Amino acid sequence: MDHDRVQKVSKVKLKALDYEDWDKVNTSDTNELRNLIVWLEDQKIRYYKVEDRDFLRDIESEKWPQSFDRYCKDVGCPITTIMPDKVEWFLGQAIRYDYEDNQKVYQEFLSKKAKKKNEIAAPTVKSTNPLDNLNFDSKEFKEGVSSLAKLLSIQEHPDHLVTLEACSKFVRKKLSPTVVQNPSAFIPKGKPFPVLDFKYGSDLGDPLLNKAVKILNLLYIQDLRDLQTKINEAIVSVQTITANPKTDTKLGKVGF
């Protein structure tokens, strides 16, 4: 991995973690990297109890590399290359834990930011459509979305609008007039395949990350199937036109 690229990415992550002097970190300085690892463990990761971190804090010790190897093994770091690469992995873990600790704060910030952006970008238009006058952030609306999700057995997302979008997709696909009139034609047959339990690809060293990759693969395959269906429909439409051309017999000519 290129050191310059590692350093640039690290600084972005360090800034996000509120690391002091985030813009002055030198990934070529061994002591700085060791201090950074100690800070990440003390402030963000917190894998060990406070009293069990002394072996890691002794950055001047000749045995520190062995201590760091032990730390990597205990935490489950899958990186086996150079030190800056391992630091990158620990920074990613720290951001993950920091998000989990402050999830509500981040979500409120993003929600307010998105709302402010929409207020600035959206023109003022008076609409007679009652749906346009709904307050999508009201308590009643959120409770309604939650009730709908429970009725459809859909896992709720922290953002109620994402949950509403999932409900909408489910209704369009599973409860459309065509499906309701002939449900047996759309009910999957056969024994379900345990996709999430099936092991394939590389193990990323994190069960949650492995599960996310499997889900993304399934969504990608679904998108490809939808695209192929649309392509087939387009081909059929073109063939219908070309297979039955219209001719003008008045233009025909017999003899010389």
For residue 73, pLDDT beyond 90? yes
Q: Which of 95, 41, 51 is nearest to 72 (CA)?
A: 41
Q: What tokens does 118 get?
A: 């929409």
Lowest mean pLDDT among 46-55, 230-239, 241-250: 241-250
DSSP label at 43? I
Kindly list the domain boundaries of the chain, sorted by start residue: 3-101, 190-241
Question: What's the N-to-C CA distance of the chain in angstroms?
Answer: 79
Between 121 and 156, where is the model more confident?
156
For residue 256, pLDDT beyond 70? no
Q: What is the pLDDT of residue 253?
A: 55
Gap between the Cα atoms of 57 and 39, Å rounded:
9
Mean pLDDT value across residues 124-148: 78
Share in percent of the chain as helix, strand, coil (round to 5): 65, 0, 35
CB contact at 8 A, 84 and 139:
no
